[in-house]
Amino acid sequence: MYYDLHTHTCHSDGTLTAGELLSRAQAGGVRVIAITDHDCTDSLAEAAPIAASLGMSLVPGAEISVTWRAQTLHIVGLRIDTDNIALQAGLTRLRQERDRRAHAIAAKLEKSGVRDALAGAARYASGAVLSRTHFARFLVEGGHVRDMRAAFKEYLGAARPAYVAAQWASLEEAVGWINGAGGQAVIAHPARYRLSSGGMRRLLDEFKAVGGAAIEVISGSHGPEDQTRFAALAKRFDLAASAGSDYHGPEQAWIELGRLPSLPPGCVPVWERWGAH
């Protein structure tokens, strides 16, 4: 597959630098790549000349944290103008919320007998974003848990002892920031949310009403049944379809770069109106 419209670098919770990510993607056959770090666009300035030198097309993106009906959702923005002031003000607010949450997570870990977790997690973060992924790496490396999965299951996941609810952007704000910056808003990895089929329909209705453009039909975390289900929902709600690996690095990959399947027939690709790449 030629396109990969959802990837992370070490500016958020990926492990590769922009250069390492782009080289690896190119070697895997990716030609058009979006870097979509959580609540941050800092890797894009560094990535742009590298992508140009590799002959790849770089789509400026971000994965925005959203709270919708007490649930966390991720909305990917594609082809955003990273100089847009309202967008950057929104992302700054979300990173401040991440910092507040990180202190609260560390305090809860302390109560569970894990000391100095804030400094520990910060050692794994090379950019401005502090993620639960960094706490998870710290817990694994410190021998507190066996692996990343266990870190979320035993400490960091919803309702676990070190879980802290965050107040992210509203759906309308996130889509508004993306559209205001000239981009397209995409619901990331829709199969990962705990929603009934009625809940999913309400989400898609609301997303469409506030100006959302597409959903990830192909995601690194989707199985074949998810692809079929979300292809049908995209069609029904008149949304375009996107494809992204959600790559975070070689040690925690759902799928290797360049191995995404094609969009199912009948989908309208989100890149259809982008022109030649």
DSSP string over 167-181: --B-HHHHHHHHHHT
User: Count of residues binding ligand AMP (CB under 6 A)?
Assistant: 10
Q: Per CB under 6 A, does 15 bind ligand AMP?
A: no
Q: Which helix (H) or strand (E) holds 215?
A: strand 214-219
What type of residue is 33? I
- Residue 19 in tokens: 């250069």
Selected from 24, 74, 95, 108, the binder of Mn ion by CB under 5 A is 74
Within positions 210 to 269, which residues make up the interface with ligand AMP, using CB under 6 A? Answer: 248
CA distances from 71 to 68, 194, 228, 247, 252 (A): 5, 8, 24, 23, 24
Q: Per CB under 6 A, does 4 bind ligand AMP?
A: no
Q: Which does 152 bind (CB under 5 to 8 A by kind): Mn ion, ligand AMP, none?
A: ligand AMP
Q: What is the DSSP letter of 191?
A: G
Q: Per CB under 6 A, does 95 bind ligand AMP?
A: no
CB 135 within 8 A of CB 145: no
Q: Shortest Cβ distance from residue 188 to Mn ion (Å)?
A: 5
Selected from 37, 39, 42, 246, the binder of Mn ion by CB under 5 A is 246
Gap between the Cα atoms of 227 and 223, Å rounded: 6
- Candidates 43, 88, 34; CA nearest to 61 is 34
Q: Shortest Cβ distance from residue 66 to Mn ion (Å)?
A: 10
Nearby residues of 198 by Cβ (< 8 Å), 6 or more positions away: none
Q: Per CB under 5 A, does 4 bind Mn ion?
A: no
Q: Per CB under 5 A, does 173 bind Mn ion?
A: no
Gap between the Cα atoms of 128 and 62, Å rounded: 14
Gap between the Cα atoms of 203 and 250, Å rounded: 32
Tell me the window of 20-28, 87-95, 146-154, 224-232 that interacts with ligand AMP (CB under 6 A). 146-154
User: Count of residues binding Mn ion (CB under 5 A)?
Assistant: 5
Tell me the window of 82-90, 128-136, 193-201, 213-221 that interacts with ligand AMP (CB under 6 A). 128-136
Selected from 3, 68, 138, 152, the binder of ligand AMP by CB under 6 A is 152
* 3-state class (DSSP) for residue 128: coil
Gap between the Cα atoms of 78 and 44, Å rounded: 12
Residues 32-51, mask of contacts with ligand AMP (x by CB under 6 A):
------x-------------
Q: Shortest Cβ distance from residue 115 to Mn ion (Å)?
A: 25
Q: Which residues bind Mn ion (CB under 5 A)?
A: 13, 63, 74, 188, 246
Residue numbers of the site for ligand AMP (CB under 6 A)?
13, 38, 65, 131-133, 148-149, 152, 248
